[in-house]
Amino acid sequence: MTRETRETPAEAFRASHPASAIDLPYAGIPTFLDADHRDVGELEGYDAGVLGFPYDGAVSNRPGARYGPRAVREASGWWAYLSGYKGGLTNMRTGESVDFGDLAVADCGDVPVFPMDHETTAESIAAHVATVAERALPVSIGGDHYCTYPAFRGFAEGAGHDDVGLVQIDAHTDTVSESPLFGREFHGSSTALIADSPYADFETVSQVGIRGYESPEFLEFAEETGLNLFAMPEVDDRGMTSVIEEAVAAAGDGTDAVYVTFDIDSVDPSVAPGTGTPEPAGLSASQALAAMETLGAHEAVGAVDLMEVAPTHDPAGNTSRLAANLLVAFLERKFAV
């Protein structure tokens, strides 16, 4: 046996210890759900491609979302570990069985960002999401919510869609068209920019979980533009599943596909404190998971992102764990049950 073909000591050890194949949730090189690492142009055979946007140069309050993609990836290892260790899992919320090893998900790493240049960063995000969208469902992890605008545009262009609806789960509307302090392009303007793009308008935008304070004329603005508004009191009164079903239907009416954006500040800060602009009286973890489970089951949904996780504001890591679970719940419903 030559040196090139003989079994190495490492191979011999792994062969004699089958448990070596189990990846611990805190070990190894973190990819989302311990998925294969692939270039954005090499996604043949994969259902979804994960991208990170480590950028928070467009925030209006606390920075830190640049660290979100890495933290969410690390947290997602827990579900891959459990599935590998137990040989599949039963989701006790839904009663469904799932083996995350069956999910054909690739992690394409982080897109190049330019901390002092939001325009070039936006071009980078759009180009990379478009490349994924030509081949698989884009799953994006932010990063501040400004990143959703170029990601939405990249999805539409890459997937070849003329019209794309938006389901936005958020504490804030992000409909500022021009700020005297922050200008036109920041994380408070992403939905305005999307509605002003060639691919969308406010009539196919659904906003879920909105609370706190907006401009004095916002309710009149929503009525005049046809924006589909489901504020937090309506979610509490009707239940999340009913609201999300209506929100998807409105966003999908007359469009080619629906893009989902989930801002983690939609969740109550007692549950998810690791974000830049926390607002009290938000979603519970159960409501947030119900939203993503429902969205994952809809054929119209063709892309998803999760934004504004700022792990430096949550030393316990609860926000990152919930964020990872939300994406896992979406992908599980989309591809594995």
pLDDT in tens, 41-60: 999 999 999 999 999 998 88
Tokens of 142: 């932010």
**What's the distance, CA 162 to chain centroid?**
22
CA gap 50, 64 in Å, rounded: 20
Q: Does 18 map to a domain?
A: no
Number of domains the chain is built from: 1
Residue 3 lies in a domain: no
219 lies in some domain: yes
pLDDT(186) > 80: no
Which pLDDT belongs to residue 26? 84
Tell whether 120 is covered by a domain. yes
Instruction: State the pLDDT at residue 234.
Output: 98
CA distance 182 to 85: 48
Q: Is 39 annotated as a binding residue?
A: no
How is residue 308 annotated by DSSP? -
Domain residues for the domain of 103 are: 33-336
Give the model's pLDDT for residue 250: 98
Q: Is residue 227 part of a domain?
A: yes
Q: What is the pLDDT of residues 256-296, one digit of tens each?
A: 999 999 999 999 999 999 999 999 999 999 999 999 999 99
In order of 195, 200, 248, 304, the CA distances from 162 in angstroms are 13, 9, 18, 18
Residue 53 within a domain: yes
107 DSSP β-pair partners: 37, 50
Are 136 and 48 contacting, i.e. CB atoms less than 8 angstroms apart? yes
- Burial (0-12, 13-18, 19+ Cβ within 10 Å), 4: exposed
For the ranges 11-25, 134-148, 208-222, 263-277, which has the lowest average pLDDT?
11-25
% of the chain surpassing 70 pLDDT: 98
User: Residue 152 and residue 167: Cα distance in Å, rounded?
Assistant: 11
pTM, two decimals, is 0.93
For residues 324 and 330, give the distance between their C-alpha atoms in angstroms, rounded to a whole number: 10
**265 carries a ligand binding annotation:** yes
Per the listing, tokens 């589909």 go with 228
Name the DSSP letter for residue 252.
Answer: H
Domain-located, residue 28: no
The CATH number of residue 329's host domain is 3.40.800.10
99 is known to lie in a ligand binding site: no
Residue 183 DSSP symbol: B
Q: How confident is the model at residue 1 (pLDDT cuts 50, 70, 90)?
A: very low
The pLDDT value given to residue 102: 81
Q: What is the pLDDT of residue 3?
A: 53
| 209 assigned to some structural domain | yes
Summarize pLDDT for 117-150 with one digit per residue, the tens.
999 999 999 999 999 999 999 999 999 999 999 9
* 145 assigned binding-site residue: yes
- Confidence check: pLDDT of 305 > 90: yes
**Which pLDDT belongs to residue 274?**
98
Instruction: Tell whether 263 is in a known binding site.
Output: yes
Site of tokens 């209506």: 246
